[in-house]
Structure 1
């Protein structure tokens, strides 16, 4: 094959001439349609603080990574060049594409579309796609089923399929379905000679992403061979469903930190793998897979869970001590997995888990301008600096903890963009009975055609949630239309109050999704009140975290930022606390939190940023210093307590009022507090 012709598109498979002949829907007893469907990309318009966050991303690296990061900028392989042809460009697009349509940003849409256009327009006649391979460029080889060795790793293509799938839901570009059909035909025929793990273990460990996309296409076309392909990929991939359900794997991961089977413990792999049982359930209808998710997620969070709602992973799973780190990629991939699990299963437990992870773990790991990130964050993080800390992967340059654009591995620089964008895209889902479901909350407007008459309906969701406890939905429609509206009552809420047009309609306990089925008229308003009493939760070594609603609160420490430079990883920031951090909460806070914690809710800032200056909620708590609790090599190892949960070492006599703010607004902090006696001995 003449690779120059391929670059110009002259030798590319002509998709525009491809006629899409979808078969009649086949009866497939095993396949289970998702409980909730995704709304088209672009039908949700974020507002308020959530839009502020997305605009920051658009103005920062999400909108401009291809201009400021040489690996993506220079001679990009996904545009026909010799540069990046692996995961980082698709990773970036996986967040930049939804951002472009959530903000209706035409300039960003055109920027990301050129990568999609090149990928589609340069699909090989065999169905293979992706950057020009060395075999094509250097030897003029043609990638066919018989010559699949001339291709390259399956893994980056899994990410690009997600990119193109999202683009399709926004545009319905007629090229996409035949492009995917042709590729999946090629893949089905090639996997015996070139199995999923032929080039890297990354593809083998992340096969669920490939399975998921084949099954998404099956949901549209009902082509049985897509389920055949999905089953084949699953058989060649890591056995995550089996491991999650059997318990031995997660226990072994807690006990073993050697280099043996480290890909099985790699936190990003685990985050991606969480959806694997749900995806397998969707294809097979086997209830065992639902049990596998339940068992695996519970075990994972019990043995490795941290107060901010994510598991440790630095890079390996590393236990539940609040001094362990979590990789940013692991957070955004776990969020995406939970979004898929929610759609497939409809289980409210995972809706709550997504909310906790998003509002707590995600925000503090990037700078205000979204141009720098931490590779690993720590729960009890008393300094951000160069060092080894308690991580399982320190790197020789000790750059995993600092805030930098290129610090640590740059996978997170490329991949962090899907976190907020996909959360915003999954505020709403559709229901099988033609309704809508608000399963996560944030300020936005949704516009869709509803009811048998396909009447355009806009629902304006007005709220400062998760900082405040009220969410209001206003229906805007030219004529009355009937459809069911589902609302999640979070598990942390004791009793929600639902009002319609100012009149209380019902009260419901938490941990469920309720349905309001009625004919909606212009101006109808639903108010969801989710009272947020303060409480505490127990973590490693009997430490306690303070919570209110979905937010976890951490000690407010003034920050001293210092800029540095590394020859290989560029500019970075270290952050140090101004003031003491070695406090224990008084026992009475744990015993009677509502009586001993004072909450102050401030007006929401006009332009919100997740930082100390903009924190809209503060909690005052009585505490005492623990003089012997000091950092060692930058690590604040948790003081030992007795079984009763009380620290019995030396404690200061004086009680002080400390201020707590949302964890997501902090960079240095204590979130898992020891508990000390009310009265000093």
Structure 2
């Protein structure tokens, strides 16, 4: 018995050793495997030159507040803290620069470059010996204290510095200024020590809620210097910030956000915070390669759009996430930040879902929320917006002065006046990405020209992208180079496109189903011409309250309403505009249109996409004609057109006019007052 027991124990010991060996071997193998390479990286700022309608938009911005905020807005204009003065030392100057810097280099405009560079120069040249940077603090000015990691309380909030780091990164990408990398290295060494006694939330919750921007910058610098302490810093910041990856991956969070509009955890429902936070799981994945983070992002983004999504491609947020009713609003800052998050997410994940989402948001939600001259904006836009006026509406932040819906320079909070400038400029600078195999990827389409180096030989190539996309379906690429060069070209075939057709030098090359990024790997020759055809078919989609939206390609369409503008003045917030419709808006789409949109919607190209392009009714190049009936009892109440109730089949059961009328729809981005989410009637 003892001998049997001995052999049993000895056998178990051998098995245990063998299992342990196998586990250790497996771990060794896992650790030895190379981590996946990020699929896409940013093209240096200035390599992409917008053309056509996109350049027209950027020129409008240069001539408007993007180019002149420091001249027309007192908070930035007067004695600015980011130039050593007593004025704005918070977020608004960095916010403005976050859009003004890329605009200066996209347009290659010497005057704008000079304007923005003085802020960057002051910031770099006035970095403290410890590495701390930013406006001169009260403790420094009044008590002559030096800011060090041991005396970090003499400093100020981490949050505005996160934005300025993004500004300086873009400046570096455009100029390769040798001062930038030592500047950031020194600051992050300071921050790494200071966070021990001055954590992210010491001054405000804003830094905690937006820590992903800080993590992103530390990891960007790591990719240049390979200093592993930067990854340790990224982990420390992540640990002190809001746990966005867990929140996005948790269905409880998004459901609670839909149900609650009280003071509890409102910063976790704040739509701008959410827009910034979307990139948090992707940035964590970039550092760890843990697939859990990608799953968290997928779950969170899908849930947000299901529970809070609006037809123009963005989630509600007025200021909190606020459900999917077409009468909910969305803050302009939330659009700007969500767009930028998607641009970062695309590079890290290569997932086409986020490419499609960026396109829909950009071409629909973004253009409508500013005036033609880019001098005034709405704090909150509404999907079904039948008037623009003062009021409290259904917003979770009504605002005492009732100015959140009007078009004004200072209407609502002025964060959006400063932050709206990054939206178009960063979109333009992310039309192309570089690929890990020394190629290029065109993942969003607009008229532009790119000049960069490709292939194993690093050959310079210029590609002219001639297109009127998203209004037309052809994207034409013309190649120029001094010698033949082999490199892969990746092209996105949007998910809304049933089948994209690719032609090379006039001959059909390939066809591909939508919803993928395809690769053309060949030796390219000077004067090659590649055409990507993306046929656009009309369809309808289902949104909040069983409403229906008409779509064609990347654009959603809204009822065309002639506009009556009224200018007024409010004491605290200055001049603003109300906008009212001149004609009836209370229409429901007839059921047959929803059942068979292809045969019941007529697409009309009414004018070319010409020069001096503006996103307004006068320039709308496409119209769609639809059949509709009026709903007499659908009226404005408290400034809103609250959605009529429908049954499970999506049909409105109340009184409907017997007369079928033809209504005209135009792309949503060209409207100010509109219906985009229609009830359905028989």
Calculate the TM-score normalised by the size of structure 2: 0.95
Residue 651 of structure 1 aligns with which residue? 656
Q: Is the 8 A contact 1:31 1:284 kept in 2?
A: no
Moved more, 374-383 or 454-463: 454-463
Instruction: Output the CA distance in 2 between the equivalents of 1:236 and 1:603.
Output: 53
Instruction: Output the CA distance in 2 between the equivalents of 1:256 and 1:653.
Output: 41
The answer to whether structure 1 residue 502 and structure 2 residue 506 are counterparts is yes
Q: Is the 8 A contact 1:605 1:616 kept in 2?
A: no
Q: Is the 8 A contact 1:33 1:219 kept in 2?
A: no
Residue 133 of structure 2 aligns with which residue? 129
Residue 15 of structure 1 aligns with which residue? none
Residue 629 of structure 2 aligns with which residue? 624
Q: State the 1:542 CA deviation.
A: 1.0
The structure whose residues are more often helix, as a share, is 2
Residue 3 of structure 1 aligns with which residue? none
Q: State the 1:605 CA deviation.
A: 2.2
Q: State the 1:34 CA deviation.
A: 2.3
Cα RMSD for the two superposed structures: 0.9
Structure 1 residue runs of 5 or longer lacking an equivalent are 1-26
Q: State the 1:540 CA deviation.
A: 1.0
What per-residue deviation string (whole Å, max 9, x for no partner) do you get for residues 155-209 of structure 1? Answer: 0000000000000000000000000000000000110100011001000000000
Q: State the 1:29 CA deviation.
A: 7.3
Q: State the 1:28 CA deviation.
A: 9.8
Q: How does 1:250-269 map to 2 (within 5 A)?
A: 250-269=254-273
How many residue pairs are counted as aligned between the two chains? Answer: 651
Structure 2 residue runs of 5 or longer lacking an equivalent are 1-30
Instruction: Output the CA distance in 2 between the equivalents of 1:181 and 1:413.
Output: 31
Q: How does 1:172-251 map to 2 (within 5 A)?
A: 172-251=176-255
Q: State the 1:453 CA deviation.
A: 2.4
Among 330, 333, 336, the alignment partner of 1:329 is 333
Moved more, 28-37 or 134-143: 28-37
Q: How does 1:346-365 map to 2 (within 5 A)?
A: 346-365=350-369
Q: State the 1:315 CA deviation.
A: 0.3
Between structure 1 and structure 2, the one with the greater Rg is 2
Residue 309 of structure 1 aligns with which residue? 313
The answer to whether structure 1 residue 272 and structure 2 residue 276 are counterparts is yes
What per-residue deviation string (whole Å, max 9, x for no partner) do you get for residues 659-678 of structure 1? Answer: 0000000000000000000x
The answer to whether structure 1 residue 166 and structure 2 residue 170 are counterparts is yes
Among 78, 82, 87, the alignment partner of 1:83 is 87
Residue 72 of structure 1 aligns with which residue? 76
Residue 639 of structure 1 aligns with which residue? 644
The answer to whether structure 1 residue 98 and structure 2 residue 102 are counterparts is yes
Q: How does 1:148-167 map to 2 (within 5 A)?
A: 148-167=152-171
Instruction: Output the CA distance in 2 between the equivalents of 1:325 and 1:541.
Output: 15
Residue 4 of structure 2 aligns with which residue? none
Instruction: Output the CA distance in 2 between the equivalents of 1:35 and 1:229.
Output: 24
Q: State the 1:100 CA deviation.
A: 0.2
SS in 2 for 1:230: helix
CA pair 29-362 structure 1, distance change in 2 beyond 3 A = farther
Instruction: Output the CA distance in 2 between the equivalents of 1:519 and 1:33.
Output: 24
Moved more, 599-608 or 100-109: 599-608
Among 393, 396, 404, the alignment partner of 1:392 is 396
Among 564, 587, 590, the alignment partner of 1:560 is 564
Q: State the 1:449 CA deviation.
A: 1.6
Residue 17 of structure 2 aligns with which residue? none
What per-residue deviation string (whole Å, max 9, x for no partner) do you get for residues 200-235 of structure 1? Answer: 100000000000000001111111000000000000
Q: How does 1:497-576 map to 2 (within 5 A)?
A: 497-576=501-580
What per-residue deviation string (whole Å, max 9, x for no partner) do you get for residues 504-557 of structure 1? Answer: 011100110000111111110110000000000000111000000000000000
Instruction: Output the CA distance in 2 between the equivalents of 1:320 and 1:605.
Output: 35
Among 338, 342, 360, the alignment partner of 2:342 is 338
Among 666, 670, 675, the alignment partner of 2:675 is 670
Residue 7 of structure 1 aligns with which residue? none
**Ranges of 4+ aligned residues in structure 1 off by more than 4 Å:** 27-33
Calculate the TM-score normalised by the size of structure 1: 0.95
Residue 6 of structure 1 aligns with which residue? none
